[in-house]
Structure 1
Amino acid sequence: MEDINHNVSLTSGELANLWTQYMNDSLTICVLNHSIKKVQDEDIKEILQFALSLAEPHIVKIKEFLKQENYPVPKGFTIEQDINLNAPPLFSDTFMLVYMHIMTLHGMTGYAGAVGNSVRADQITYFIECNKEAMELYERTVHLMLKKGIYSRTPHINSPEKIDFVDNKSYLSGWFGKKRPLNAMEISGLSFNMQKTAVKVVLEIGFGQTCQSKELQKYFNKGRDICKKHFETFRSFLIKDNLSSPNLWISEVSNSTVPPFSDKLMLFHIVTLVSAAVGFYSAGLSVSQRRDLALEYTGLVTEIGLYAEDGAQLLIKNGWLERPPMADDKDELSNSQ
C-alpha cells in the first residue's frame, strides 16, 4: 500500500484499536505465561508458546505507535503484578486448548474490525498482519482439536433436493402453533454462541474459587449461573430439532483454590468477554428469522449487558478500570477558565 500518511496523527478509531489490543494482549501474555509453565501436553504447550510469540511483539509495536503520538502507554497487566507462576494449574490442558481456540476467534473478529477502522497505511498494514497471524493460530488450534477429538462441529443438516422459496408467512412464526425447523444461519449462531458461553462458564467457575475478594466471588458465581442458563437456552433450541450441541467443559476446572491471577485480571477478563457477548448475541439475533428465537436473544442480550455493567462498576469501585482514549470535555475546559 502506498505510504501517504504525511505525518497524520492517529484517528480516534486507530487509537481505540491500539489501546484495546494492548489491554487484551497484556492480559493474554499473563495467562499464557502461567499456562505454559503448567501444561503437560507438549502439543498444546506448542500452541500456547506460538500464541505467546505473537502477543509479545504486539506490545512492543503498540508502544512504538503510541510513543510516536506522545500518547501514554496503558498500564494493562504485567507478569510481576498479575500472575502467580507458582500457583497450581486452574484448568486442564484440554480446556486451555479450547480457551485458546475461542480467544483466537475473538482476535480475528477484533483485527478484522481494526483493519476496517484504520486509514493510515502503517495501521492497515499492521492489523492485516495481526489478522494473518490470528488466522494461522486458528488453523493450528482447529487442527490440534480435531486430532485430539475435542472439536465441537456445528451440527450437520441434510441437503435439499432442490432450491426452494418461502411461500408462507408462518416461516417467521414461532410463538404459537407448529414451529418450522431452524435454518442453517440460526443453527450456526446458536452453536457459535454456545461455544463462547461454555468458555465463560468454565472461567467463572475457576475464578470464583480462586479470587481473593468475596464481592468478586459473588459476581463470578452469578455470571456462572447466568451463562449456564444461556447455554441451556441455546441448547434447548437445538435439541428440539434433534441437533447436537457443543460441550460445556465444566469438569475441566481443577480443585485448586490458589489464585494464579490477580483479582483485577480475572474481573477484567470476564467483563471483556461478557461485553463482547452482547455483540455476538446481537449478531445471532440479526440472522434469526423465527420470532421465538429472536425474542429469546433480545432477553439474553439485556441480561448479559446488565451483568457486564455490574462488572464495570466493580472495576471502577476497585480503581482497576483504565480510562480509554477520550475526547476533550469542552464544557469543562471552558468552565475552568
Structure 2
Amino acid sequence: MVKTNPISVSEVASLWQTYQEKTLIMRFLEYFIEKADDPQARNILGGLWQELNFYVKEMEELFSEQGIVKPVGFTSDDVNLEAPKLYDNGFDIMFVRVLKEVSMGLYTLGLNMTYDKKVASIYEGLTTVTQKIYKLATSYLIEKGILSLPPKVTMPKKNEIIKSKDYKDGFKLLGDKRPLNLLEVGIIHHNLEVNNIGMQLITGFAQCAQNKEAKQYFSRGIDIAKKQIKVMESLLLEGDVQLSAASGATVTTSTIPPFSDKLMMHCIYILNGFGLIGSGTGGFFSLRNDLAMKTLLIAKDVYFYAQEGINLKIKNGWFEEPPQMEDRSKIINKGK
C-alpha cells in the first residue's frame, strides 16, 4: 500500500542517487574482499559491505512503501569475482577512503534536502558509517606506510592580517610571489593525493574495458590526471614545498575485467562530479590568483571530459534515467 504522506521530490531524487552510489560501491567491495590478502583490510571492507547492505535494504523498503519503482543500480551482473587481481594490496583501502570522501558530501546534500524522519535517519546512519570507515581506512594506510602525509611546516607563532591586495598577485613578471599559505598547500596536496588514486583507478579501467570507446575514454582520463598531477607538483616545487611521495598502491598487468563497462563509466561519472566540486572549492579558497586560475582551468578540462562521458553512457544505454517530473503538456495534449 502506498503511503498517504509521500516523501518529497528532493527526497526521492537524493535517495535515487544514493542507491546508485551504494550499489556501485558494494560491487567494488565484493571484488576487493574476494581478492584481499590482508585480513585487516578484508575486515574493513567486509564491515563496510555489511553496513551498506543494511541501508540499501532500508532504501528498498522505503521505495516499496512509497510505491516508487526500485532503481536498477548495479547488480551482480556488473562484477566478475573470478577476474584476477587488477590492483595491488593497499589500493582497495585507498580507493574506499576516496569513496568515503565523496559519500560525506553526498550525505550532507541528502540531509539538506530531507524533511521526512525516516529518510533523515538513513542519511544520519550512513554518515556515521562513513566517518567510522574513513578513520579506519586512514589509520590502516598510515600504519602500512601507503598513505603520503601532507608536508610539515614551522608552526605559526603570531597572528597576521592581510594588508594589501598584492597578497593575491601570483602573476608577477618581476619580483618573487608570496609564499603559499597553509590552506593553499593543503588543497594542493589533497588534489595530488586524489589524482594519484584516480590515475591508478582509471589505468586499470583502461586496461580491461571491453567497449572500444570506453577504453579510449579511460585512456584520455589518464592524460588528464597526469596533467593535473604535473600542475600541482610544479606549484609545490615553485613554492619550495617538499613533495610527498605518491601512493604505494599500483595497478597489475591484468586485462581481464572485474567490472562491467557500465559500472566503470558510472564510477568515473561520480568522481568527475566530485572533482568539479573540489576544483570550485580550491579555486575559491586559493587567495593567490595564479593558483585560482590554474585550478579553474583544471575544472574546465574535467567538465568537458565529464560531458564526453555522459554522452558515451547515454549512447551505450548505461545511464539509468533519474526520476522525472510529470510532463503536464504531454498529459494535457494526450486527450486531444
Query: Given the two structures, how large is their TM-score scaled by the length of structure 1?
Result: 0.94
**In the TM superposition, what whole-angstrom CA distance separates every residue of 1:180-207 from its partner, at most 9, and x where no partner exists?**
1111221222222222222211111001
How far does residue 32 in structure 1 lie from its aligned partner after superposition?
A: 0.9
Task: Check if 1:46 corresponds to 2:9.
Answer: no
Residue 174 (structure 1) aligned with residue 163 (structure 2): no
- Partner Cα distance (2:245, 2:148) in 1: 7
Match of 1:55 in 2: 52
Partner in structure 2 of residue 154 of structure 1: 150
Counterpart selection for 2:103 from 84, 103, 107: 107
Residue 268 of structure 1 is matched in structure 2 by: 266
Residues 250 and 152 of structure 1: CA distance in aligned 2, closer, same or farther (over 3 Å): closer
SS at match of 2:90: helix
Distance in 1 separating the partners of 2:251 and 2:232: 23
Question: Is 2:4 the counterpart of 1:22?
Answer: no
Question: What residue in structure 1 maps to residue 296 of structure 2?
Answer: 298
State the secondary structure of the residue aligned to 1:252. Answer: coil
Cα distance in 2 for residues equivalent to 1:244 and 1:67: 54
- Aligned-partner residue type, residue 220 of structure 2: K
| CA positional deviation for 1:98 | 0.8
Paired residues of 1:202 and 1:249 also in contact (CA < 8 A): no
Q: Which residue of 2 aligns with 1:196?
A: 194
Deviation at 1:261, TM superposition (A): 0.8
Distance in 2, Cα, partners of 1:150 & 1:127? 30
Compared CA separation, residues 246 and 335, structure 1 to 2 (3 A): farther
In the alignment, is residue 67 of structure 1 matched against residue 64 of structure 2? Answer: yes
Where in structure 1 are there 5+ consecutive unaligned residues? 1-5
Matches within 5 A, 1:245-260: 245-249=243-247, 252-260=250-258
> Which 5+ residue runs of structure 2 have no aligned equivalent?
none
Distance verdict in 2 for CA 1:329–1:287, change over 3 Å: same
Matched, 1:330 2:328: yes
Aligned match of 2:312: 314
1:3 is aligned to none
1:212 maps to what in 2?
210
What amino acid is the match of 2:15? L
- How far apart are the structure 2 equivalents of 1:142 and 1:230? 24
- Aligned twin of 1:228: 226
SS at match of 2:279: helix
Select between 253-262 and 150-159 the one with higher mean Cα deviation: 150-159
Q: 1:334: how far off?
A: 2.9
Of residues 84, 87, 97 in structure 1, which corresponds to 2:83?
87
Match of 2:93 in 1: 97
Q: After TM superposition, give the deviation of residue 119 of structure 1 in Å.
A: 1.2
Percent identical pairs in the alignment equals 28
The one-letter amino acid paired with 1:161 is: K
Q: 2 CA distance for matches of 1:300 and 1:330?
A: 40
Is the Cα–Cα contact under 8 Å of residues 11 and 119 in structure 2 kept in the other structure?
A: yes
Q: 1:201, 1:250 within 8 Å by CA — same for their partners in 2? A: no
1:127 aligns with 2:143: no
C-alpha distance after superposition, 1:77-114 (max 9, x if no partner): 111x1111111010012111111111111112211221
Structure 1 stretch 250-259 or stretch 55-64: which is displaced more? 250-259
For 2:94 and 2:187, locate their aligned partners in 1 and report how far apart those are by CA, in whole Å.
18
* Separation (CA, whole Å) in 1 of partners of 2:106 and 2:147: 23
CA distance in 2, matches of 1:255, 1:312: 28
Cα 1:241–1:321 change in 2 (3 A) is same
Asked if the contact 2:168–2:287 (Cα under 8 Å) also holds between the matched residues in 1, the reply is: yes
Q: Deviations over 1:88-145 (max 9, x none)?
A: 0100121111111111111122112212221111222221111011111111111111
Code of the residue aligned with 2:163 in structure 1: it is D
The Cα shift of 1:251 comes to: 6.3
Asked whether the equivalents of residues 192 and 229 of structure 2 are also in contact (C-alpha less than 8 Å), the reply is yes
Moved more, 230-239 or 152-161: 152-161
Contact 1:90–1:206 (Cα < 8 Å) also in 2: yes
**Contact preservation (8 Å) 1:22, 1:58:** no
Aligned to 1:288: 286
**2:36, 2:259 → 1: CA distance?**
16
The code of the aligned residue for 2:109 comes to G
**Distance (Å, rounded) in 2 between the aligned partners of 1:12 and 1:243:** 48
Distance in 1 (CA, whole Å) between partners of 2:199 and 2:239 is: 25
Work out the CA distance in 1 between the residues paired with 2:321 and 2:171: 44
Deviations 1:24-49 (A, max 9, x none): 11111111111111111111111111
